[in-house]
Structure 1
Amino acid sequence: MHPNLSRFIESFEHEASLTGKFRSKLDKTALVFLEQVWGAAFDYNYDGLRAEFPFIDHKGGQRFADFVFVKNGVRLAIELDGFTTHASHITPGEFNDHLARQNDLVLSGWLLLRFSAWQTAHDSRRCIAQIKQAIGHWWSVAYNGQTSYDVKLWETRKTLLIQLARRRDAKLKPSEVAREFRISNRTAIDWLKRYEQEGILRGLKSGQRITFYELSIPIEQ
């Protein structure tokens, strides 16, 4: 096993023991993914990759994504499915819950990829190609303002910011936006100012400085 992979596993298990995560050990499918897919794709560099990542679903409950990659504005979630995930071994309610979990990730602003356990073990090249394509897509959208994706990107950000504001009594702090999207405070302020100019938000001052941004559209919309 590559030393970097050993360190990644040790770090995960240490964090799991401290936080009491539902899963304290990575299963065989996850280990195969880390070795044969991610490790092979990125020369065993696991910077930005996290396992069993917690997120809040639409009901306010805590869920976990198998893996997420968060770095330089990229928000990629990766789910690994065993063969029985959608087979007759699970109830209709469990199946619906599984799909809702996937949708919650997408609606929270993540780009989602799903691979089967068989694919990670026997078709790693395709998994690698799709992961690199997904990361490349994020970069082209986020950092090339002249691409055809630019308008769509800002519209998506607007939707996600409105959703975030509604969860916070229609008010947003730049620090909250920065934390939610894994961006700098400066970038968060730039986003908020742009939507203020579009009439979506309005700045609320404390003294001479804007400290909050408030939705300027009806909360029920």
Structure 2
Amino acid sequence: MGFAEEHHQWLEYHKKRRTGERLDRLERGHGHGEQMFLERVWWPIFGNMDNLHPEYEVADWRGRPYFVDFVWKPGQVKVAIEVKGYGPHVQNTDRTRYRQELNRETYLQIAGYRVVAVPYDDLESSPELIISLLKALLTPCLLKNKDEGSRQFTSIERDILRIASRKNGFLRPVDVVKQLGINRRTARKYINFLCEKGKFKPVLEQGSNRVCRYELIHSFLDSEVW
């Protein structure tokens, strides 16, 4: 599934779960800059939008609602991401509003969020820089959940993932049979488990509904988890 289709489904998923001001804010606030961040930075890193929430409502230090462009919550990690343009955030003549924005960012960190400010201009001119910086920031955060991530896979499943990785991301049940010495039924069972866990997707034979192999769905932390 490509970015456009995935983004549409992800956005509709969140819209269906919101009403009132929270829905209105999502429809108004998820604009060009936010979509460009997803397409040019987030998608190349992760290839999905799992655990990512758009226009996420939090309370500020006064208890008033505040909407963050994105909040990413995998496990115990909480990352608040704001896409910031030069005009609204630097040339803002409303000093009270600007001061409150800075105080909100400080409060988010007190509340346990890692706060990331993404320059809009860099999304247009050098998204690869944002990708590099974001990977460096998020990798240590995710490694806090390394043991938890490892436990979601059995020993056989991790072996199968390693085999697929060595075969450039594509796997046939017969490859598992040969490498692990297990029977074909057992190999298919564990591959199906990994499909359910989002690590494989079936690839159909051209012009047929028959599955001929499985494609590994990569994560940039795969080597740390397996």
Shared fold (TM-score, shorter chain, > 0.5) = yes
Structure 1 residue 99 corresponds to structure 2 residue 102: yes
After superposition, the C-alpha distances for 1:98-148 in whole angstroms (9 at most, x for unaligned) are 10111111110011110111122222112122222222111345658xxxx
Note if contact 2:82-2:118 (Cα within 8 Å) is conserved in structure 1.
yes
Q: Tell me the equivalent position of 2:130.
A: 127
Larger radius of gyration between Structure 1 and Structure 2: 2
How has the CA–CA distance of structure 1 residues 86 and 20 changed in structure 2, closer, same or farther, with 3 Å as cutoff?
closer
Percentage identity across paired residues of the two chains: 21
| One-letter amino acid matched to 1:51 | P
Q: Tell me the equivalent position of 1:204.
A: none
After superposition, the C-alpha distances for 1:146-188 in whole angstroms (9 at most, x for unaligned) are xxxxxxxxxxxxxxxxxxxxxxxxxxxxxxxxxxxxxxxxxxx
Structure 1 segments unaligned to the other structure (5+ residues) = 145-221
Question: CA offset at residue 20 of structure 1?
Answer: 2.6
Note if contact 1:8-1:46 (Cα within 8 Å) is conserved in structure 2.
yes
Q: What TM-score, normalized to structure 1?
A: 0.59
Distance 1:86 1:143 in 2: 36
Q: Tell me the equivalent position of 1:150.
A: none
1:2 aligned counterpart, secondary structure: helix
Q: Tell me the equivalent position of 1:174.
A: none
Structure 1 residue 62 corresponds to structure 2 residue 49: no
Structure 1 residue 28 corresponds to structure 2 residue 32: yes
How has the CA–CA distance of structure 1 residues 132 and 19 changed in structure 2, closer, same or farther, with 3 Å as cutoff?
farther
| One-letter amino acid matched to 2:16 | H
Structure 1 residue 42 corresponds to structure 2 residue 46: yes
How has the CA–CA distance of structure 1 residues 122 and 9 changed in structure 2, closer, same or farther, with 3 Å as cutoff?
farther
Q: Tell me the equivalent position of 1:163.
A: none
Distance 1:100 1:65 in 2: 14
| One-letter amino acid matched to 1:66 | D
CA RMSD of aligned residues (A): 1.9
| One-letter amino acid matched to 2:87 | T
Structure 1 residues 50-199: aligned runs within 5 Å: 50-141=53-144
After superposition, the C-alpha distances for 1:55-86 in whole angstroms (9 at most, x for unaligned) are 11111111111101101222111111111133
Note if contact 1:37-1:127 (Cα within 8 Å) is conserved in structure 2.
yes
